[in-house]
Amino acid sequence: MNKILLTLILFLIVSSCCREDSIETARYELTADELALLPYSKGQKINFVHSNGYSFDFNVIEDKIEWKEYHDFCEWNCCGNDYFSYQVKTTILESTYPKFHFVFSLGGTRFNDYYPQVLNLEINNRYFIQFPYDTLTNFICDSITQTTYYDSISLNNQMYYEVCMRNFDSYNFINDSSVLVPMSVYFNNLGLIQLKMSNYETYTINN
């Protein structure tokens, strides 16, 4: 009886083995210009100031580039599916108080989503925003992306150039529009330069 059961289990294990190799059909590497969109390095400190004067540091706690695989969704008989590889750059900035945890990513997100030509920003695991860019790594600023471009703009009494601004368009779990939440993000070649809240308080890079 035991021998029959053992044989049956072995048969099931052997028959469920995948004997076809998956084939990589393409590799998408981030370009040097794309990588330069996130001008941070691990261990760096970046000082920010709140609009009421409180200054604090962001610490760059992670800055890594990795390869991920994209497979088409497959529930049954997934053996030997083709896939492509794509590069993802992830940079994490963290502050002690105010307690912010910013996750920037290029090429994809930590959820293994493939997002070519998009800069993703996730704040405190709750607020998500994306900046699409073109093949020349210029941010796409138009009504579709709801992104505004400024040749120059004064933020916290300092001039910044070639700035892209985008408003958050939705908030997880929050249905009340009067709740205090991040409202918009300003970004340029320095990286994040300002986070504006819905009550117009701001957190601005302090050069």
Partner 1 sequence: MKHIQLTIKLISVFTLSILLNSCGGDLEGIFYISDEARKYQIDTTITKMQFVDNYGISEEFYIDQNIWYTTHHYFSEWGTDGEAWGETFGVAYNSTVNGFFFMFVLRADVENTDLEIEWNQRDMLVYNFSTKCVESGIDATIKFYDTLTVRGIKYQDIIEVDYSEKINEIDNDTPVKTYISGNKGLIKFERKDKIILERIE
CB of 44 vs partner 1, minimal distance in Å: 22
Site track for partner 1 across 90-119, x = CB under 8 A:
------xxxxxx------------------
Residue count (the chain): 207
CB of 206 vs partner 1, minimal distance in Å: 14
**Residue 4 interacts with partner 1 (CB under 8 A)?**
no
**Residue 184 interacts with partner 1 (CB under 8 A)?**
no
Q: Compare residues 142 and 201 and give the one whose CB is closer to partner 1.
A: 201
Q: Compare residues 111 and 200 and give the one whose CB is closer to partner 1.
A: 200
Task: Tell me which residues in 134-173 interact with partner 1 (CB under 8 A).
Answer: 173
Q: Compare residues 100 and 149 and give the one whose CB is closer to partner 1.
A: 100
Chain position carrying tokens 């040097």: 32
Minimal CA–CA distance to 85: which of 130, 33, 30, 31? 30
CA-based Rg of the chain, rounded to a whole angstrom? Answer: 22
Q: Are 106 and 29 in contact (CB under 8 A)?
A: no
Site track for partner 1 across 24-63, x = CB under 8 A:
--------------------------x-xxx---------
Round to whole Å and give the CA distance between 182 and 195: 7
CB of 102 vs partner 1, minimal distance in Å: 12
The full DSSP string for 89-115 is EEEEEE-SSS--EEEEEEEE-TT--EE
**Residue 199 interacts with partner 1 (CB under 8 A)?**
yes
**Residue 124 interacts with partner 1 (CB under 8 A)?**
yes
Where helices occur in the chain by DSSP H, the ranges are: 2-15, 32-35
List of E strands, the chain: 24-28, 45-50, 55-71, 83-94, 101-108, 114-123, 127-132, 147-155, 158-167, 182-188, 191-197, 202-205
Q: Which stretch binds partner 1 (CB under 8 A): 17-25, 31-39, 122-130, 184-192?
A: 122-130
**Residue 181 interacts with partner 1 (CB under 8 A)?**
yes
Footprint of partner 1 on this chain (CB under 8 A)? 50, 52-54, 96-101, 124-126, 173-176, 178-181, 197, 199, 201
